[in-house]
Amino acid sequence: MTMRSLPIRVRLTILYSIMFASVAVLLSVTSWCMLRRAIDASAHQDLQERVDDVRKQLREFDSSPADATFQQRFDDIYHFRDDGKWLQILDQNGGWVYRSDRMADLNASLVLPQALPSRGQTTDFKRGTRQIRAFSAAIDVDGRSYSVEVGASMNKQLILLRQFGIGLWILTPLVLCAAVVAGHAMSRKALEPIAAMALEARRISDKNLDQRLQVPPADDEIAHLSVTLNSMLARIDAGFRGMREFTANASHELRTPLARLRTEVDIALMRPRSAAEYENTLEHIQEVAEEMTGLTETLLSLARAETRSEPLELAPVDVWKLIQAVHQEWTPVAKHLMLTLQTERLGAEQASSSDSLWVAADRPALLRLLRILLDNACKFTPPGGAVFIIATQTRSEVILAVKDSGIGIPKDQHHRIFERFYRVSGDRTEQRSGSGLGLSLAAWIAEQHGTAIQLSSAPGAGSCFEICLHSIRNESVPLANPVKQPSQTSRAFSRRTS
């Protein structure tokens, strides 16, 4: 099991504990070393003072007339003193000036003053239960050199150091335990706001998606997380609302033709009718059924577009050929509505109207888009008017336009007409059939081609819907798959047309 697989609270506890424990161990070791150094320094100072004391005595002995030997005279002074217990003095010729009983018993050697280092030398040795620290130094008294060795028992200091060490050994595990407890408490404290946020988030369901998480006043990571989650909730909320609206609107749209169907049937069944009357009713029913089929197909396409389960495949499409086919398909409709329907090709002088015009597109989707635009153009152009399908070739693009001389669209409605189920208000369109879904599907198709529909229109001045497609040299050019984001082409197009 790796550290990453552990819950964050455990990981934090471990990290805090390791941190506290390391600090505790470091502090213990450092303080033990410092105490040891202080003891060493104090012992050294004490021994140094003893050497100075011996120098003073030797100077005094030299200046005062005396009959006793140095051994006798040192014995008189140091015999009962603690600092005389471990003392020996050697003169420059190697003769013993003084040796305490303990030093004599030990028969400790001492080098000549000339052989001793100038700062003296320290040695440790054990005598029974005693740990002795000895310090030898060379001293000069009135032109004569002596080696002096003094010693002192270190037992008291060592006991002090040991007791301190034992204290630390007991204290360190206790500090470790405290570190684990403190680490756990700190990680709990640190994660508390997240736990509270999780609790709050758990209360939000599809029933109360309008609720938001509380954002703490501090500008920290928790506040950023709350803001991010809140914006995510807002998006989900908008999506849910859109879905509900879509379902409600779709049901509403289907209800009208269904009611018409029922009325037709009810009237037909009220009394026996002639064959011609039945035929007439059936024709009406067929009309309504076709309308409903168109509506459900559009709804299905929009639903698929929403879930992206119908990805578009871009392939080379001869858009001029497509325009001709659409022109042929819609000429009878236009004639029936007393409109003229024309195709026009602009931009490439050298190209004849029989030449191909290759673009990267999904043929069925592009056909659908053209049909939607043509259906609207025919619906919203009064008899006697004209509808044009225009292809304009530029260096790298083909601009496809459906233009009409119809009733036009007020400027403030230009954006709204691409919304689902939106129809321009007012009685001007009420007689015309439609669900308000066509343009939203057309906009999605354009988006899938990496472009957007551009509209120029004004009331009474007709409308022109344009899309800009990426032009390719011929049908053999390999293509990347559907363009999900508006390409540079479409951005350039938007700039040019805005």
* Shortest Å, Cβ 314 to ligand ADP: 24
Residue 438 as a binder of ligand ADP (CB under 6 A): the answer is yes
DSSP state of 383: T
* Beta carbon nearer to ligand ADP, 314 or 409: 409
Q: What's the 3-state SS for 17-75?
A: HHHHHHHHHHHHHHHHHHHHHHHHHHHHHHHHHHHHHHHHHHHHHHHCCCCCCHHHHHH
Cα–Cα distance measured from residue 404 to residue 378, given in angstroms and rounded to the nearest whole number: 8
With H, G, I as helix, E, B as strand and everything else as coil, classify residue 454: strand
With H, G, I as helix, E, B as strand and everything else as coil, classify residue 160: helix
* Beta carbon nearer to ligand ADP, 13 or 435: 435
Residue 434 as a binder of ligand ADP (CB under 6 A): the answer is yes
* Beta carbon nearer to ligand ADP, 78 or 380: 380
Cα–Cα nearest to 446, from 369, 391, 372: 369
Distance of alpha carbon 79 from the chain centroid = 82
Residue 292 as a binder of ligand ADP (CB under 6 A): the answer is no
Cα–Cα distance measured from residue 437 to residue 498, given in angstroms and rounded to the nearest whole number: 25
Cα–Cα distance measured from residue 34 to residue 43, given in angstroms and rounded to the nearest whole number: 14
Q: Are 136 and 148 in contact (CB under 8 A)?
A: yes
- Exactly one of 365, 409, 446, 468 binds ligand ADP (CB under 6 A); that residue is 409
Residue 376 as a binder of ligand ADP (CB under 6 A): the answer is yes
* Shortest Å, Cβ 453 to ligand ADP: 11
- Exactly one of 102, 130, 371, 423 binds ligand ADP (CB under 6 A); that residue is 423
DSSP state of 354: T
* Shortest Å, Cβ 406 to ligand ADP: 5
* Beta carbon nearer to ligand ADP, 52 or 290: 290
- Exactly one of 103, 138, 399, 439 binds ligand ADP (CB under 6 A); that residue is 439
* Beta carbon nearer to ligand ADP, 347 or 436: 436
Binding segment for ligand ADP (CB under 6 A), chosen from 10-18, 68-76, 103-111, 423-431, is 423-431
Residue 417 as a binder of ligand ADP (CB under 6 A): the answer is yes
Q: Are 374 and 326 in contact (CB under 8 A)?
A: yes
* Shortest Å, Cβ 11 to ligand ADP: 55
- Exactly one of 168, 406, 446, 447 binds ligand ADP (CB under 6 A); that residue is 406
Cβ density class 139-163: b for 16+ within 10 Å, e for less: bebeeebbbbbbbbbbeebeeebee
* Shortest Å, Cβ 302 to ligand ADP: 11
Q: Are 359 and 319 in contact (CB under 8 A)?
A: yes
Residue 414 as a binder of ligand ADP (CB under 6 A): the answer is no
Binding segment for ligand ADP (CB under 6 A), chosen from 11-19, 72-80, 137-145, 422-430, is 422-430
Contacts of 420-428 with CB under 8 Å at 24 or more apart are: 420/245, 420/246, 420/249, 420/302, 421/245, 421/246, 421/249, 421/253
Residue 424 as a binder of ligand ADP (CB under 6 A): the answer is yes
Residue 339 as a binder of ligand ADP (CB under 6 A): the answer is no
Instruction: Please give the full DSSP string across 111-127, using - where no structure is assigned.
Output: --GGGS-TT-EEEEEEE
Cα–Cα distance measured from residue 58 to residue 71, given in angstroms and rounded to the nearest whole number: 11
Q: Are 132 and 126 in contact (CB under 8 A)?
A: yes
Q: Are 87 and 103 in contact (CB under 8 A)?
A: yes
Per-position x/- string for 236-255, each x denoting binding to ligand ADP as judged by CB under 6 A, each - no binding? --------------------
Binding segment for ligand ADP (CB under 6 A), chosen from 265-273, 359-367, 401-409, 444-452, is 401-409
Residue 137 as a binder of ligand ADP (CB under 6 A): the answer is no
Residue 380 as a binder of ligand ADP (CB under 6 A): the answer is yes
> By rule CB under 6 A, what count of residues binds ligand ADP?
22
Q: Which parts of 147-176 interact with ligand ADP (CB under 6 A)?
A: none
- Exactly one of 407, 446, 452, 468 binds ligand ADP (CB under 6 A); that residue is 407
Structure tokens at 379: 């619906």
Task: Give the list of residues 6+ apart from residue 110 with CB closer than 8 angstroms, or none.
Answer: 88, 90, 136, 147, 149
Residue 435 as a binder of ligand ADP (CB under 6 A): the answer is yes
Binding segment for ligand ADP (CB under 6 A), chosen from 15-23, 71-79, 300-308, 437-445, is 437-445
| Segment (H or E) for 321 | helix 319-336
Residue 131 as a binder of ligand ADP (CB under 6 A): the answer is no
* Beta carbon nearer to ligand ADP, 245 or 277: 245
Cα–Cα distance measured from residue 337 to residue 374, given in angstroms and rounded to the nearest whole number: 13
Residue 486 as a binder of ligand ADP (CB under 6 A): the answer is no
Residue 371 as a binder of ligand ADP (CB under 6 A): the answer is no
Residue 437 as a binder of ligand ADP (CB under 6 A): the answer is yes
Structure tokens at 427: 């009685």
Interacting residues toward ligand ADP by CB under 6 A: 372, 376-377, 380, 404, 406-409, 417, 422-424, 429, 434-440, 463
